[in-house]
C-alpha cells in the first residue's frame, strides 16, 4: 500500500513537471512598416518589454517583422498593437500568432 | 558712422560665433542640418555634445547637454544647456543661453524598410548666459522655426530642411540680422545590420546660411550679413539605444558683406542615449 501511494505521488509529481514543461505561450509575429534603422526601433523594444509576460523579442529589420513570445493568459490585441507601434513611431500592418510550448519559447 | 561700423563689426564678429547648436540632436537627424526625427512616446533622450567653431577671430567651444522627452509618438520637446568657452583676443567662459525646443512630425509614410516623414521645429533661445566679455550669448531672446523632410531606408538616406531664425535686439541696441539655414543631406548605410548589431550611416551635408544685415539703433551695419556654404561629412554610429554622431563643417563658398571674418571650420560630436 505504501508502495502504491509512493508510485501515485511520483506519477502526479512527474505529470505536474511535465505540464509545466509543456505550458503554452503564444508567439506573435507582427508586420511593421517604417523599420529602417535599428536605433530607431529601440522604442518598440522599450514598449513591448513593458508588457507583463512578453519575452524573446526579436526585430527583423529586413523583413519588417517584430516577434515576441507572450505568456499564457496575456493577449496582444490588434488595436493595442496599432497604438503601441504608432507611439513608437511606426506603422503596424498585421500579425500572425501560434501556440508554442514553454521549452520552444525559451530556447530561441 | 565709421566708428559705428567698426564697433558693429567687432560685435557682429563675436556674435557670429554664437550660432552653434542650431538643431537638436534627435536620432538619425543630420549632424548640422535638421531632420524630421522625434522620439517614441514616453521616451527620454540624453545627448551630451561638444561643438567647436574656429575662425580668424578665435575659437568658441560649447559643451552642452540636450534633454528631450517624447510627448507622443510624433511630438517631442526638450531643453539645451551649454557651457561656453571663448578664446581669442580676449577670453571668457561660463554658462551659455538656455534653449527650449519642440518638434512635431505632422506627416509620416511608412512602407517595408522605408520611412518618409516631415516635421516642424520651433525653438527659443533665452538671454540667460553668464555675461562678461566677449559675450557668451547673443544678448537677446531669439526664436527659430524649421521645416524638415526625411527619407530613410535600409540603405539610403536623404533629408532637406529650412530654418529661419528671428533675432531679438540686445540691450546695446544691436539688432542682428535674421538668418536662414538651408540643408541638403545624403546618407548611406554600406552594410545593412541586424537589430542588435552596431550600425553605421555615413552622411554628407550641404549647409547654406544666409544672414540679413544687422542694425545698430536703427542704422544698418555694413559689415554684417551675407551667405556662407559648407560641406559637412559626418557619421552616425549606433548600438541598440546608444549613438555617436560626429561631423565637420568645412566652408566652401562665402559672400559676406563688407569686412567680416570667415569661418574656418565647425566640428560637432554628440553622444546619445534613448531611455
Q: What is the CATH number of the domain that holds B270?
A: 2.40.160.40
Is a pLDDT exceeding 90 seen at residue A13?
no
Residues of A in contact with B41 (CB under 8 A): 43, 87-88
Q: What pTM, to 2 d.p., does this model score?
A: 0.84
Q: What is the pLDDT of residue A104?
A: 54
Residues of A in contact with B110 (CB under 8 A): 33-34, 90-91
| Residue A14, in any domain of the structure | no
**Pairwise CB contact (< 8 Å): B113 & A36:** yes
Q: How confident is the model at residue A103 (pLDDT cuts 50, 70, 90)?
A: low
**Pairwise CB contact (< 8 Å): B241 & A42:** yes
**Pairwise CB contact (< 8 Å): B238 & A39:** yes
Better-predicted residue by pLDDT, B6 or B21: B21
Q: What percentage of chain B has pLDDT greater than the value 90?
A: 70
**Pairwise CB contact (< 8 Å): A61 & B192:** yes
Is a pLDDT exceeding 50 seen at residue B220?
yes
Q: What angle do CA B246, B249, B251 make, to 5 degrees?
A: 170
Residues of A in contact with B38 (CB under 8 A): 89
Spatial CB neighbours of B235, under 8 Å, sequence gap ≥ 6 = B200, B201, B202, B203, B244, B245, B246, B247
CB-nearest to B73 from A39, A59, A88 is: A88
Better-predicted residue by pLDDT, B56 or A38: A38
**Which residue of chain A has the CA closest to B272?**
A39
Q: How confident is the model at residue A9 (pLDDT cuts 50, 70, 90)?
A: low
CB-nearest to B28 from A40, A62, A91 is: A40
| A-B contacts (CB, under 8 Å) | 98
User: DSSP 3-state assignment of B249?
Assistant: strand
Is a pLDDT exceeding 60 seen at residue B35?
yes
In which domain, by residue range, is B177 found? 2-274
Q: How confident is the model at residue B9 (pLDDT cuts 50, 70, 90)?
A: very low
pLDDT digits (tens, 9 = 90+) for B115-174: 999 999 999 999 988 777 787 888 889 999 999 999 999 999 999 999 999 999 888 888
For chain B, say whether A88 makes contact (Cβ under 8 Å): yes
**Pairwise CB contact (< 8 Å): A61 & B274:** no
Q: How confident is the model at residue B270 (pLDDT cuts 50, 70, 90)?
A: very high
Q: Looking at the DSSP assignment, which residues form a beta bridge with residue B195?
A: none
Domain count, chain A: 1
**Which residue of chain A has the CA closest to B273?**
A39
Q: What is the pLDDT of residue A12?
A: 56
Torsion angle, alpha carbons of A66, A71, A75, A80, to 10? -40
**Pairwise CB contact (< 8 Å): A40 & B43:** no
In B1-113, beta strands by DSSP E: 44-55, 58-72, 75-88, 92-95, 99-111
- Give the separation between CA B168 and CA B197, rounded to whole angstroms: 46
Better-predicted residue by pLDDT, A84 or B17: A84
User: DSSP 3-state assignment of B82?
Assistant: strand
pLDDT, chain B, mean: 88
| Residue A94, in any domain of the structure | yes
Q: What is the pLDDT of residue A28?
A: 95
Q: What is the pLDDT of residue A100?
A: 86
For chain B, say whether A49 makes contact (Cβ under 8 Å): no
Domain count, chain B: 1
Is a pLDDT exceeding 50 seen at residue B19?
no
Q: What is the pLDDT of residue B15?
A: 46
Is a pLDDT exceeding 90 seen at residue A19?
no
Q: What is the pLDDT of residue B6?
A: 40
- Cell numbers 539610403 correspond to B156
Mean pLDDT of B186-214: 95
Torsion region of B121: left, alpha or beta (phi above 0 gives left; psi -120 to 50 gives alpha): beta
Residues of B in contact with A45 (CB under 8 A): 240
Query: Beta strand pairing status for B174-175 and B179-188?
Result: unpaired
Better-predicted residue by pLDDT, A79 or B5: A79
| Residue A15, in any domain of the structure | no
Q: What is the pLDDT of residue B138?
A: 81
- CATH code of A98's domain: 3.30.70.100
In which domain, by residue range, is A69 found? 24-106
**Pairwise CB contact (< 8 Å): A38 & B40:** no
Q: How confident is the model at residue A14 (pLDDT cuts 50, 70, 90)?
A: low
Answer yes or no: is the ipTM higher than 0.90.
no
Q: How confident is the model at residue B180 (pLDDT cuts 50, 70, 90)?
A: very high
Is a pLDDT exceeding 90 seen at residue B3?
no
Q: How confident is the model at residue A90 (pLDDT cuts 50, 70, 90)?
A: very high
Better-predicted residue by pLDDT, B38 or B28: B38
| Residue A10, in any domain of the structure | no
Q: What is the pLDDT of residue A4?
A: 67
Q: What is the pLDDT of residue B90?
A: 81
Q: What percentage of chain A has pLDDT greater than the value 90?
A: 65
For chain B, say whether A58 makes contact (Cβ under 8 Å): yes
**Which residue of chain A has the CA closest to B236?**
A39
Q: What is the pLDDT of residue B55?
A: 80
Amino acid at each position: 500500500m505504501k508502495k502504491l501511494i509512493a508510485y501515485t505521488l511520483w506519477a502526479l509529481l512527474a505529470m505536474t513537471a511535465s505540464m509545466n514543461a509543456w505550458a503554452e505561450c503564444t508567439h506573435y509575429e507582427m508586420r511593421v512598416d517604417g523599420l529602417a534603422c535599428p536605433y530607431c526601433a529601440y522604442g518598440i523594444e522599450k514598449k513591448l518589454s513593458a508588457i507583463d509576460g512578453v519575452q524573446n523579442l526579436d526585430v527583423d529589420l529586413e523583413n519588417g517583422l517584430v516577434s515576441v513570445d507572450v505568456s499564457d493568459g496575456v493577449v496582444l490585441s490588434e488595436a493595442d498593437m496599432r497604438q503601441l507601434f504608432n507611439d513608437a513611431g511606426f506603422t503596424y500592418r498585421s500579425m500572425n500568432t501560434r501556440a508554442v510550448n514553454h521549452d520552444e519559447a525559451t530556447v530561441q | 558712422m565709421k566708428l559705428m561700423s567698426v564697433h558693429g563689426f567687432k560685435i557682429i564678429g563675436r556674435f557670429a560665433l554664437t550660432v552653434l547648436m542650431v538643431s537638436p540632436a534627435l536620432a538619425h537627424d543630420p549632424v548640422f542640418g535638421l531632420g524630421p526625427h522625434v522620439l517614441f512616446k514616453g521616451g527620454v533622450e540624453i545627448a551630451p555634445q561638444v561643438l567647436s567653431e574656429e575662425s580668424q577671430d578665435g575659437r568658441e567651444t560649447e559643451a552642452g547637454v540636450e534633454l528631450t522627452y517624447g510627448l507622443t509618438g510624433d511630438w517631442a520637446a526638450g531643453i539645451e544647456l551649454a557651457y561656453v568657452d571663448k578664446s581669442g583676443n580676449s577670453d571668457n567662459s561660463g554658462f551659455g543661453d538656455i534653449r527650449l525646443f519642440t518638434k512635431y512630425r505632422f506627416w509620416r509614410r511608412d512602407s517595408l524598410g522605408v520611412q518618409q516623414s516631415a516635421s516642424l521645429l520651433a525653438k527659443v533661445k533665452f538671454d540667460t548666459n553668464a555675461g562678461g566679455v566677449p559675450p557668451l550669448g547673443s544678448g537677446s531672446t531669439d526664436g527659430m522655426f524649421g521645416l524638415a523632410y526625411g527619407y530613410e531606408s535600409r540603405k539610403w538616406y536623404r533629408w532637406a530642411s529650412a530654418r529661419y531664425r528671428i533675432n531679438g535686439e540686445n540691450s546695446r541696441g544691436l539688432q542682428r540680422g535674421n538668418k536662414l539655414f538651408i540643408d541638403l543631406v545624403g546618407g548611406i548605410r554600406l552594410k545593412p545590420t541586424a537589430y542588435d548589431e552596431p550600425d553605421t550611416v555615413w552622411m554628407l551635408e550641404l549647409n547654406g546660411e544666409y544672414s540679413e544685415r544687422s542694425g545698430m539703433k536703427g542704422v544698418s551695419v555694413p559689415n554684417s550679413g551675407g551667405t556662407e556654404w559648407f560641406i559637412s561629412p559626418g557619421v552616425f554610429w549606433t548600438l541598440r539605444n546608444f549613438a555617436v554622431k560626429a561631423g565637420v563643417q568645412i566652408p566652401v563658398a562665402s559672400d559676406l558683406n563688407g569686412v567680416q571674418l570667415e569661418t574656418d571650420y565647425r566640428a560637432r560630436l554628440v553622444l546619445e542615449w534613448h531611455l
